[in-house]
Structure 1
């Protein structure tokens, strides 16, 4: 029996239909009917997807575009990499048909094979120039031969769908189509309520031992904690007080469990996630895998984006331009502050203890402190450069930039602890004030600064200048000590002490990154070198000159003994090189540990 929902108030001007044309060839077939096209109608496919700041050229997967008006074929002329002009008459219904190859497992594009289908509207749905605000429908057909095995999940509102979820959905405009991914296949699914808001969690690729009940219970705890964070203890759908009413009336989590991957992408009413299959909670496990904590952090991060970046967002994102880069210097706030709260809210919700939270915070701090690029670029500049740096990592990236996720999270930490040290205000108060003042809409840096001043009772311009727009060190140790956390030194890993990032695999040491200013750079190491071994000169006590093959950096102390210098033997482009390496003195890395339980509880409790 078909399941019906309230029909759209007006006849849709644009109608998309998606078919799984060939599962083995990974091909979707898309039909788009435009009721009232313009003469010489232009259509485009986005070059990027909001939330992932890189031009990805989705049009490279589109082929076989044809157009008809009635029974008459009309010419299609491609004008640039992602734009086509249709030689059609105005006002007469126009039908476009084309195919899209879907073979990208990531959350950003599209996938189709005999086990699963997934797509974002930015990969499949052409944007009709001049009709971006027109109401749309999206019809999704079940693949032939899948019977009742496959289902369909999306946050779009149903118009007429069957029990498996296939059928017609509606969207207010193209932005909603672009912001509503679709999951297809024989996935696991569960529905649950969070303070009156219906939620659904679908998981593709889970193994037989997957503990769905645990995942739902923990996810519900996360969602409740975040709704109360933003809207107070009285948070609930339909609350009379608008401030207590969540901005979303439905939400869908879509998780794809695979052999080896991790990530997520936020949307207004849903999120697409990907994780290692072994990170899922397992039934009967005495202790869940460490990866499950990481997965809960990902769930928390993407759900927090429901408020921070999808609604409260950079002023530059008030309206997306899908045809080119959309620059902002505020990703340190929208991604970095979200990264601060993702694990912090797990702690407040009781899903982490203090020690585990501080272990996660230690990892974040060391990621920043071990990145020379923090001295080369501010976190605001890194936000602006995301389009050409963060999403295109190479061997020089750690020396040239800093992550607006990790350093942004530490900026949030420092601002939060500063507010707490100076009075009873917290960063929580700033976030809620920004939400209230903006109406959950676009903001600029001046408005963010004004909210800090209103909450903290003074200007935070000096902190913004040093921490956001400067490249100096953050005052982590002092602020953490004032809140019950000791910043301890412990020995750095061998690679970090040498100024390297390496891959150790199959008995070989391959250099991936040479860090700026380290001993390895001074010796002449280069990315992609294979470090074969070391030579030691004759030394005191009658020691003879000798050479050793190494298979991992932890072998070095065994062969070096007390030697302070050696010759590194490396292979570079099939050429064997001898590099004079001075062994640096012992170095330390940061470890955060509880020091004063009462002070710590005042922050984390």
Structure 2
């Protein structure tokens, strides 16, 4: 057994003290810290927060030699226990690393637990100590012997499990409920005193009930304890999945509050995040791509399937809000519209497939810059639209003895494999559930027809053509309306405004802003001599019918840029076809909504959008 002691050493200097004990070390015992954390696909270099290691054996100091940036080797003598000590600087407020101050403590195992080479499959025991008075502990790690605060001894069956159970500490709000024999805890740090915890618990419970039913039917899941750890801050959003818990962050103002009307759009977004991370309990934590079986935490683990594991999870997160009645059909279609437009205003989708975007997550998604929108597409959002397109395609097929084909059946067929999967497994599951694809001639051009799910899936994930969503939605009684985009998007520029300064964040490929010579970082000062301080000023002084002169400041220099005439906005019109190349910079946006439909179409729409 490998033993750790994690002590709150100094809240003001943000330091955890870690003591590691290897009972029977190798003659040259190697120790290693992960370079990244599963679920967040970027080399994080957690080692930069570790102090130099010291080691002793039998009361005698042992030499520690660093082998690379995150690996050490200790020369030992005999069979006596090896003790290693180090400190962890913890001041990362994200869900990915470690944090400690006078109000709160939090850590992921990848930031604090060294891996003892040769002992990865052995039990790993952790003692939490030194908690300030009044603090509590929340974690899904199995407790062996703990006090009322939660301080004491916990144990994981192996190193992989150890680093997949984050720990929350502090004076947080706490509530719980039980679903299908699984005790769910919800802890919230940093919330205001009027937090409506009962509303948060009730809404989260509905999500959990629906998802457990989805994956397990009436059977009990293979875990008996799950923890939601939510950190409420002034401004923030995000989450990270684990096998029996999730770490979340949200803006404090987005939480439900007693005596205030709910839900708000922001609270709906929070519920979508909760739904997303809980769905990951199965889709990526248990149902994995072959590239993650097992993880190699020393280097990048490339896969082309994040469109499935993140994208399909993004499709289902809002679906479960709809299915549980937490949102209605029109609200759901607004969320679909938002996803569609996020992709439509990303020129990179024409040059970078969602499969390639998945593979390049390590170098692109987590390192966004001013050119990201031109160079890639989000595997979250485009992947969700692939899931939507597949689900709607399946629902066009006639029902079988097993029921109406849908993406639900595909997910359950993949889950039944009980092993890591490939894209070929997804294509096979589609064939098993639905046979051949629907008559694609009715949905898109004849030359784009596919005679197999494998061909269709490959085209949608490895190609850059538009998905046939307008016609698929129309076949389900949902109208696609194209309307003029806001002026900045029509110009092909993303702007920010703060304290009277209007700045360029990004310039879209192929737009008028690029043709004028605008660059990220430019401060927009005036248009035809009229001062610009806000986006509304740009709208007020812009004349689409003629060329204008834009004055910008770049690197303390004033530059005059020629802005060509944009032309009149595109008139709103119904659309049943994919976008044309002219829309690459987002000249128009989509707006999808319920439309009049015949009986069969309305029935399909009800099956997709109706509460179940």
What TM-score, normalized to structure 1?
A: 0.92
8 Å CA contact 1:377–1:471 kept in 2: the answer is yes
For residue 116 of structure 1, the aligned residue among 104, 118, 122 is: 104
With over 3 angstroms needed to count, the CA separation of the structure-2 counterparts of 1:92 and 1:293, relative to structure 1, is same
Q: Distance in 1 between matches of 2:507 and 2:516?
A: 10
Asked whether the 8 Å contact 1:494–1:554 carries over to 2, the reply is no
Q: Structure 1: how far apart are the matches of 2:208 and 2:289?
A: 24
CA gap 1:492/1:130 in 2 versus in 1, 3 angstroms: same
Q: In 2, distance between residues paired with 1:96 and 1:604?
A: 57
Deviations for 1:228-266, whole angstroms, at most 9, x for unmatched residues? 11223xx242xxxxxxxx232211110000001100000
Aligned to 2:20: 32
5 Å-filtered alignment, 1:12-31, equals 13-31=1-19
Q: Are residue 405 (structure 1) and residue 380 (structure 2) matched?
A: yes
What do the CA deviations read for 1:420-450 (whole angstroms, capped 9, x no partner)? Answer: 01222000000001111x22x3111111111
Aligned with residue 601 of structure 1, among 600, 603, 606: 606
The answer for the alignment partner of 1:553 in structure 2 is 535
**How many residue pairs are counted as aligned between the two chains?**
567
Alpha carbons of 1:328 and 1:525: their partners in 2 closer, same or farther (altered >3 Å)?
same
Mapping 1:445-594, distance limit 5 Å: 445-458=423-436, 459-535=452-528, 547-561=529-543, 563-585=545-567, 586=569, 587-594=587-594
CA distance in 2, matches of 1:105, 1:497: 37
Is contact 1:390–1:403 with CA below 8 Å preserved after alignment?
yes
Q: Deviations along 1:257-307, whole A, 9 cap, x unmatched?
A: 000110000000100000000111111112333211000000000000011
Corresponding residue to 1:293 among 251, 263, 268: 268
* Structure 2 unmatched runs, 5+: 399-403, 437-451, 570-586, 597-601
- The answer (yes or no) to whether the contact 1:27–1:99 under 8 Å persists in 2 is yes
Distance across 2 between alignment mates of 1:562 and 1:150: 61
Mapped partners of 1:300, 1:60: distance in 2: 33
Structure 1 residues 244-255: aligned runs within 5 Å = 246-255=221-230
Tell me the distance in 2 between the aligned counterparts of 1:561 and 1:132: 66
Q: 2:342 aligns with which of 363, 367, 387?
A: 367
Match of residue 183 from structure 2:
198
1:554-596 Cα distance to aligned partner (Å, 9 max, x none): 3234324464210111111111111111132324211111114
1:433 alignment partner in structure 2: 413
Partner of 2:505, secondary structure, is strand
Which runs of 4 or more aligned residues in structure 1 lie more than 4 Å from their structure 2 counterparts after TM superposition? none
| 1:139 matched residue in structure 2 | 127
Deviation per CA, 1:310-331: give whole Å up to 9, x if none: 0001011111111111111100
Q: Is the 2:4–2:21 contact (alpha carbons within 8 Å) kept by the matching residues of 1?
A: yes
* Deviations 1:377-428 (CA, angstroms, capped at 9, x unpaired): 1000000000000000001111000000000000000000000012220000
Distance 1:250 1:516 in 2: 49
Partner of 2:171: 186
1:276 aligns with 2:261: no
For residue 443 of structure 1, the aligned residue among 387, 401, 421 is 421
Distance 1:199 1:207 in 2: 22
Distance 1:70 1:159 in 2: 27
Structure 2 matches for 1:40-439, cutoff 5 A?
A: 40-143=28-131, 146-147=132-133, 149-232=134-217, 235-237=218-220, 246-423=221-398, 424-436=404-416, 438-439=417-418
Inter-partner Cα distance in structure 1 for 2:6 and 2:527: 60
C-alpha spacing 1:409/1:30, structure 2 compared with 1 (3 Å)? same
> Is residue 140–residue 168 contact of structure 1 (8 Å, CA) maintained in 2?
yes
Q: Determine if contact 2:29/2:76 at 8 Å carries over to the other structure.
A: yes
How far apart, in 2, do the equivalents of 1:598 and 1:38 lie?
Answer: 67
1:142, 1:150 within 8 Å by CA — same for their partners in 2?
A: no
Instruction: Report the Cα distance in structure 1 between the residues aligned to 2:483 and 2:61, rounded to whole angstroms.
Output: 72
Contact 2:548 2:564 in 1 (8 A): yes
Deviations 1:493-542 (A, max 9, x none): 1211110111111111100010111110011111111111112xxxxxxx
SS in 1 for 2:270: helix
Query: What's the secondary structure of 1:206's corresponding residue?
Result: coil
